[in-house]
Structure 1
Amino acid sequence: MNLLSVGLELVSLHVLGFIAACHAIMHARTSQGAIAWAVALVSVPYVTLVPYLFLGSSRFAGYVDEHRFNRARAQARRAAGDAAMRIVAAARRYAAQEPALHRFLAVEGLVGRHFLGGNRVALLKDGRATFDAIFQAIAAARHYVIVQFFIVRNDDLGRELQRALLDAVGRGVGVYFLYDRIGSHALDRRYIDTLRAAGVQIHAFAIRRFRNRFQLNFRNHRKIVSVDGQCAFIGGHNVGVEYLGARAPLSPWRDTHIRIEGPAVVQVERTFSEDWYWVTQRLPDVREPVSTPGDMCCLAVPSGPADAQETCSLFFVQAIHAARHRIWLSSPYFVPDSAVRAALRLAALRGVDVRVLIPCRPDHFTVFQASAYHAYEAVRTGVKVYRYQPGFLHQKALLIDDDAAAVGSANLDNRSFRLNFELMLLVASPAFAADVEAMLRADFEQAELVPADEYEQVSMPRRIVMHYARLFAPIL
């Protein structure tokens, strides 16, 4: 009887493995991924069924009901009044006159948004400058504050943010707060309850619907703060003292955020509104911009696993192809997919100055080893790879020629390309590009170029580790 039970269980597992393999073949994004999952599920289902249940899906189902969301948003925008709508329309017309934009029209089509003119964008280098600017903006809030982070910790910086939001609620300001449930899994429940009891509308971005329920791959990696529709902040920082450089051995921490003022704030807030709508089925009460404080043309580029296309990967491919003489990229992780690898290689072959800045210290062992492998592969094809020396490099920035740059939350890895919800801001402005160039030049001066022959000096055990680590690229 026991043998019969064991036999039935094994048969059942193989049947379930076959069903899961069929699912993988139908839904995996790449043929390589489909083959790998299918072979493993059919041959050893008792080992791979549970991992597939949690890691197998690459599509986030049912993210936003576009019809309901757009209908609700249209009602909210009509309530905002004609003046605000005229500002946005004028910003579109202004942006259309920017000569650099014709190289990025494909990005407009990719995200279904237009470049908006009349903005001012400022770099915020490193943690203290970033959070001082954020807390100053929250202190001046009159109507509402939007807050969204991947990681929120109940440490000194987290409590400083908590106090700022409690003060805002005490002044009658509405506060909308989203945090990622996986990224902030260690966040103290008392921290959340204190904010909620004071009137902060705080929710976790969680995998809460049946088709996504077991998936651990999907993360909301966006970092957004916006105040009264007048200014917004996005970039690489999360809420934790390590982002201030206060935690060894990764300190000093090198990161970059940006402050945005002008009509592009509405695109940042729409991105947050879609996430908020997914969680609450309601829209936040936000306002349209009422001024054009600058002359920069901007396009907020949201991306995520619910997109019909691989938006993040295609954004980087288009940015690389748009470069005529220079493309500089900075990322803590360098595990690009085949499309981005090919774009970097072709750019180097046509004489473009292609530089990639990565950290010299690891914060995740497997990702670091996979990044090292791809760094050596890139160097062989003419890409210049630099390792930042003073501390851990976490900034996500790219510079395209002398007239465009982007900063945001997306890394150069498959996780950002396909599994995370991300947000970048593409700015077509020689002035902003010059600021980014100066910042990156200073970073390159503190970095070491990876020699073309360094791989030959690497020990065989380390090579094996790197090659093994790259096998996990689809989920890194």
Structure 2
Amino acid sequence: MIAWIGENYVVVGTVLYWVLDTCLRIAGVIVVPRHRRPGAALAWLFAIMLLPIVGFPLYLMLGKAQLPRKRREKQKVVNRLMHLRAREIPDSELDPDVPSWLQSAVRLNRALGAFPLTGHNDADLEIDYQTSLDRMAADIRTASSDVHVLFYTMGLDEVTQNFFDALAEVADRGVHVRVLYDHLGSITHWPVYRAMRQHLDAHGIEHHPMMPVKPFSDGAFQRPDLRNHRKLLIVDGEIGWMGSQNVIAPHYDKASNIRRGLRWQETMVRFRGPIVSEMNLLFATDWYFESGQTLPMETVVHGTASRPGTYECQLVPSGPGFVFENNLLLFNQLFYNAQQRIVAVSPYFVPDESMFSALVTAARRGVDVELFVSEIGDQFLVFHAQRSYYTELLEAGVRIQLYAAPAILHAKHVTIDDSVTVIGSSNMDIRSFLLDMESSMMIGGTDFMEKMHVVEDVYRSRSRELTLDEWRARPTLTRMLDNTCRLASAVV
């Protein structure tokens, strides 16, 4: 037999190849559609049918948006901890004249993410990149007990030097400083990442990478693109920052970005009041997730004696550790209930079918829908995929504002009517809905809405409106590229 196989190895190899090819195609049809959106299932099946030998192993590595078993078990502990400690944060009642759909959104958020609606908060916006870093550094220097830092990307460079100097100063005088940063989101900026770690170590600051890329450390392969994309800073449980900005230079210390003149435009929010305890609790769960340490209750949830403002706020966490796509459900709830106006700002706009339908439906029923995106992109696939949606949006009446190059509009926020704002780290793309751990804040109050409108006006002054005639005139090859990237973006 062995001799015959040796003499006919070409025939044997060909037969084995086609048997394997057929088995992988059949397995794909059986396995891929299970618990998956039709669009994503079709995209994976297309990849498997096109080249099974490559497509099916890729599906096994990247086809499931879930943590490995040990991490899932740990996440269950985190979620229970979050629910128990959230009970210590008192609920606030909405004003009786707010729309019923907004009351429904509050209940939805509480059911999905555990956090209550809190009142008597204050919030300020900051859209200047360097100023936000310097203001955060100034707040850090006021710390007397704890500083909690969590950012997707962190690196020590000339822009962030003041921020890290502030962390070192308070750590040297005995303040507990805890730092989390996403592993892949930071290590890919190696020189400034290494400088940051050396700086933190030199001052005895405890720090951990989030979602470290160690494929088999938890007993199973963990797909490397499951990331922690949150941005949080909490000082003494009294002051909290969150939004879209990372702690790195606005060109991300990349030679290609510097050569192109790219600079990121961000929006950050500074909070005071009871809502900061919710932000601190979210940090504590991520800290436990990465370090195994449970922070003392008095360190996390603070009393509500301080009532610095009038805003009602609710934190909405989301990510692969949650059963439902919390941020997607919130956005859809708000879009379907909007009556007058939707303004959405997102650097990466690759919505799933439900969100796309919600926006188009809102525009067609007379809601003034305005979408802010960047004129140019920093991620080839996402940039071209999002452009594939523009025709249908424009035809429905959505106004698309292109933020002028060479800036990248990286801010992430939505305003609905004069009722509510949602702002945080979540993009309006499939990655943020399924793969990334995100944090969004829902804020009520017409005073804060007025602050948001000022920011929107600034961004509008730096943008130009895309017209349907202009878009239809784009080259055919560009249109084909956009549509191809849209198909590839569904493979999640």
User: Normalising by structure 1, what TM-score?
Assistant: 0.89
- Note the alpha carbon deviations across 1:60-117, whole angstroms, 9 max, x for none: 3444646644676799899xxxxxx5xx32xx24546673542523333332322110
Provide closer, same or farther for how the CA distance between residues 9 and 271 of structure 1 changes in structure 2, counting only shifts above 3 A.
farther
1:282 to 278, 282, 293: 293
Provide closer, same or farther for how the CA distance between residues 131 and 44 of structure 1 changes in structure 2, counting only shifts above 3 A.
same
The alignment partner of 1:199 has SS state of: coil
2:385 to 370, 383, 405: 370
CA distance in 1, matches of 2:84, 2:453: 42
- Residue 12 of structure 1 deviates from its aligned partner by 5.7
Report the AA paired with residue 213 of structure 1.
Answer: F
The alignment partner of 1:241 has SS state of: coil
Provide closer, same or farther for how the CA distance between residues 362 and 145 of structure 1 changes in structure 2, counting only shifts above 3 A.
same
2:115 to 113, 116, 126: 113
Which residue does 1:238 correspond to in 2?
246
1:25 to 27, 33, 55: 33
The alignment partner of 1:242 has SS state of: coil
- Residue 392 of structure 1 deviates from its aligned partner by 1.8
2:275 to 239, 264, 271: 264
Report the AA paired with residue 31 of structure 1.
Answer: P
Alignment of 1:384-395 (within 5 A): 384-389=399-404, 391-395=407-411
- Residue 418 of structure 1 deviates from its aligned partner by 1.3
The alignment partner of 2:329 has SS state of: helix
CA distance in 1, matches of 2:96, 2:73: 33
- Residue 308 of structure 1 deviates from its aligned partner by 1.0
Provide closer, same or farther for how the CA distance between residues 60 and 381 of structure 1 changes in structure 2, counting only shifts above 3 A.
farther
Give the fraction of aligned pairs with identical amino acids, expressed as a percent: 28
Which residue does 1:82 correspond to in 2?
none
Of 152-161 and 409-418, more deviation after overlay is shown by: 152-161
- Note the alpha carbon deviations across 1:4-41, whole angstroms, 9 max, x for none: 578657756765675566443334x2123234434644
The alignment partner of 1:298 has SS state of: strand
The answer as to 2:154 corresponding to 1:138 is no
Report the AA paired with residue 45 of structure 1.
Answer: P
For structure 1, the 5+ residue unaligned runs are 79-84
The alignment partner of 1:157 has SS state of: coil
Which residue does 1:170 correspond to in 2?
172
Which residue does 1:104 correspond to in 2?
105
- RMSD (Å), alpha carbons: 2.8
Alignment of 1:19-418 (within 5 A): 22-27=30-35, 29-38=36-45, 40-41=47-48, 44-61=51-68, 62-63=71-72, 65=74, 68-69=77-78, 85=88, 88-89=89-90, 92-95=91-94, 99=98, 101-105=102-106, 106-186=108-188, 187=190, 188-189=193-194, 191-206=196-211, 210=218, 213-242=221-250, 247=258, 249-285=260-296, 286-290=299-303, 291-389=306-404, 391-418=407-434
CA distance in 2, matches of 1:277, 1:445: 43
- Note the alpha carbon deviations across 1:325-362, whole angstroms, 9 max, x for none: 01101111121111111111111122111000111121
Report the AA paired with residue 65 of structure 2.
Answer: S
Report the AA paired with residue 479 of structure 2.
Answer: R
The alignment partner of 1:162 has SS state of: helix
Is the CA contact (8 Å cut-off) linking 1:235 and 1:396 kept in structure 2?
Answer: yes
CA distance in 2, matches of 1:225, 1:37: 38
- Residue 219 of structure 1 deviates from its aligned partner by 1.2
Alignment of 1:443-462 (within 5 A): 443-462=459-478
For structure 2, the 5+ residue unaligned runs are none
Report the AA paired with residue 26 of structure 1.
Answer: R
- Note the alpha carbon deviations across 1:365-401, whole angstroms, 9 max, x for none: 2211112221222111111111012522111011111
